[in-house]
């Protein structure tokens, strides 16, 4: 467990350095300036994507609370969708991380692969159930629509 903590400190420090260098800000500054908020959101994204840190652990690395991390992650897609400059910078950061992160990345263990497989299997089952419910609802709506068309046709004949 202690080794994990050291590994995450190195990982999160690397993420922090790349974000700060690319965006030319300090993500630990206590400010709500857009540049800093965007930088922290990028950092949160990297931590959630490339580590298995919880929101709380990520928040501890930047002296924020877990809700701030969740909010930053929720807003990031909108920022990069509507701001071309931010989109370009975000992609630059992710590309840098992927190059550095995956160069010496250790291969996944069998346990990690099994865990990932089980996760995606459950996710797939959940999505299939949702699709089945939507298809049933769609059939019901089509049937109701046909019934409504029949009623309208009958009412039109009455006049």
85-125 per-position pLDDT tens digit: 888 898 889 888 887 766 555 567 787 788 888 888 888 98
Structure tokens at 60: 């501890």
Task: Mark out the alpha helices in 1-109 (DSSP H runs).
Answer: 2-23, 34-50, 55-61, 66-82, 84-103
Neighbours of 45 (CB within 10 A): 23
Count CA atoms within 13 Å of residue 105 on its CB side.
13
In the prediction, which pLDDT does 99 show? 78
Answer whether 0.95 is exceeded by the pTM.
Answer: no
Query: What sign results for the dihedral spanned by CA atoms 11, 13, 16, 20?
Result: negative
Residue 81 pLDDT level (bands cut at 50, 70, 90): confident
CATH topology of domain 2-103: Chromosomal Replication Initiator Protein Dnaa; Chain: A; (1.10.1750)
Neighbours of 138 (CB within 10 A): 10
In the prediction, which pLDDT does 2 show? 46
Sequence ranges of the domains in the chain = 2-103, 107-159
In the prediction, which pLDDT does 109 show? 78
Q: At residue 6, does pLDDT exceed 80?
A: no
Give me the count of residues in the chain. 159
Structure tokens at 19: 């974000």
In the prediction, which pLDDT does 135 show? 95
């Amino acid at each position: 467990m202690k080794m994990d903590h050291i590994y995450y400190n190195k990982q999160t420090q690397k993420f922090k350095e790349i974000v700060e260098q690319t965006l030319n800000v300090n993500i630990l500054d206590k400010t709500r300036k857009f540049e800093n908020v965007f930088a922290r959101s990028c950092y949160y994204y990297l931590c959630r994507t490339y580590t298995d840190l919880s929101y709380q652990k990520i928040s501890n690395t930047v002296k924020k609370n877990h809700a701030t991390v969740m909010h930053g992650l929720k807003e990031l897609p909108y920022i990069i969708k509507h701001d071309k400059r931010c989109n370009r910078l975000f992609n630059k950061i992710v590309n840098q991380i992927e190059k550095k992160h995956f160069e010496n990345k250790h291969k996944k263990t069998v346990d990690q692969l099994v865990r990932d497989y089980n996760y995606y299997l459950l996710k797939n089952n959940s999505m299939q159930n949702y699709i089945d419910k939507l298809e049933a609802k769609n059939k019901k709506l089509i049937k109701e629509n046909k019934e409504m068309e029949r009623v309208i046709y009958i009412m039109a004949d009455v006049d």
